[in-house]
Amino acid sequence: MQIKSASRLVGRALLLPTLALSFSSVAFAGPDENQLIIEGETISTDTKAAAGNPLPHLYSGWRFRSIETQALQADDFENPAFTAVDTGEELWNTVDGSAGKSCSSCHNDAAESMAGVRAKMPSWSDSLGKPHTMETQINACREEQMGAEKWKWEAQDMLAMTAYVGLQSRGMPVALDLEKGEMQDWHDKGEDLYNTRVGQLNLSCANCHGGNFGKMIRADHLSQGQTNGFPVYRLKWGGLGSIHRRFKGCMDNIRATPYKRGSDEFIALEVYTANRGQGLSVETPSVRN
C-alpha cells in the first residue's frame, strides 16, 4: 500500500511540470498520460466529448488508477478477471434449461455474434417496454429461449457471463441509441438522479464525478465515474462487480439508502452514465482498486 501510494505521488509530481506547461492557468490534478496497450493493441482511454455532454473531455477510469493497478489491466494474463472470463466461455457452451440449449446453440461464436453488444447497452427492448441491461438481456435469453432459471444480478455465473460477453466488444466505442423507444426518457430520468443530492453528506454523483474528477478524495483519485470497463474486478471486492454494485457503493459512502440492483432507478442511472461516456472504448473487464 505504502509503496503504491508513494509511487503514485512520484508519478504525479513528475507530471506536474508538463501539466503546468499545457494548462498554465488551471490548477488541475488530472488523469495521467499513460497509454493502455493490451496484447499489442492500443485502446484509447480518452476521447472528445459529444455535443451536450456536461464533461469537457472524456477519460476512462483507468487513467486515474495507480500504475500497479493499470498494469494488471494491461495484461490479460495478469488481469484477475480472466478466471471469470474463462468460466463465462464455458457457460456459453454449456446446455442448461428445458429447451436443451446453450448460448452457442443460437449465437454460435461469441467473438462474432457478441462483438459490439456491450458498447450499445443498455438498449431498448420492445418486448420489455424498457431498456435491457446486459444482465436483463442474458436472463431473458435464459428464461424465454432456454427454459433455464434466471441468474441473480451479482451471481458469479452472471458476472462471468457479462464479463465474457463484454470482452467481445473491447476497444469498440460506447454508442447508445437514445432514439429507440423511450430511451431518451430513461436517460433524462437518469440525469435527474445523477444530479440529485442524496444522503447525510448531501452530495450528488455529479458533485464528485463531474466537478471534481482528477482530484484526490483522501486516498482515492476521483475519476469521471465512467462505466465502460464493467463488470470490473475490484481488488477491494476480491472479485468482479456489476455497475449497479458500484452505484450502491457510492450511495452507501454518502450515507444514502441505495436503490436496488436492477431497479428502474439504477437502470435509468446506467443509461445516463453509459451515454455520458459515449465514445470511450469498452474496456471490459477492467481492474480497479
Partner 1 sequence: MKPTKYLSLAIALTMLSAVSVADISPDDVPFDGSMQVNESLTGKAGDPTEGRKVFANRKLGNCLACHAASDQSDQLFHGEVGPSLDGVASRYPEGLLRTLVINAKKVFSERTVMPGFYSNEQGARVAEKFKGKTILTAQQVEDVVAYLTTFK
89's CB contacts (< 8 A; 6+ apart) are 110, 164
Site string (3-42) toward ligand HEC, x via CB under 6 A: ----------------------------------------
Q: Which does 257 bind (CB under 5 to 8 A by kind): partner 1, ligand HEC, none?
A: partner 1
C-alpha neighbours within 13 Å on the C-beta side of residue 279: 12
163, 84 in Cβ contact below 8 A?
Answer: yes
235, 66 in Cβ contact below 8 A?
Answer: no
245, 236 in Cβ contact below 8 A?
Answer: no
The number of angstroms, rounded, from the C-alpha of 270 to the middle of its chain's C-alpha atoms is 9
For cell 431498456, the residue is: 131
Please state at what angle helix 156-167 crosses helix 82-92, rounded to 10 degrees: 90
Q: In what order do the strands lie in the sheet with 287-288?
A: 239-241, 232-234, 287-288
The active-site residue, picked from 103, 106, 208, 250, is 250
92, 102 in Cβ contact below 8 A?
Answer: yes
* 257 touches partner 1 by CB under 8 A: yes
Instruction: Using alpha carbons only, give the angle 32, 35, 36 rounded to the nearest 5 degrees.
Output: 120
Q: Which of 21, 26, 52, 218 binds partner 1 (CB under 8 A)?
A: 218
171, 281 in Cβ contact below 8 A?
Answer: yes
Nearest approach, Cβ of 200 to ligand HEC (angstroms)?
12
Instruction: Using alpha carbons only, give the angle 176, 177, 179 rounded to the nearest 5 degrees.
Output: 150
* 142 touches ligand HEC by CB under 6 A: yes
Nearest approach, Cβ of 21 to ligand HEC (angstroms)?
26
Nearest approach, Cβ of 41 to ligand HEC (angstroms)?
20
Site string (47-76) toward partner 1, x via CB under 8 A: ------------------------------
Task: Give catalytic status of residue 205 as yes or no.
Answer: no
* 137 touches ligand HEC by CB under 6 A: yes
* 211 touches partner 1 by CB under 8 A: yes
Q: Under rule CB under 6 A, which residues in 209-228 are in contact with ligand HEC?
A: 209, 217, 220, 222-223, 225-227
Site string (168-207) toward partner 1, x via CB under 8 A: ----------------------------xxxxxxxxx--x
Q: Indicate which residues carry an active-site annotation.
A: 250
Residues that bind ligand HEC (CB under 6 A): 61, 64, 101, 103, 105-107, 117, 123, 137-138, 141-142, 145-146, 161, 165, 203, 205, 207-209, 217, 220, 222-223, 225-227, 229, 232, 246-247, 250-251, 253-254, 269, 273, 288
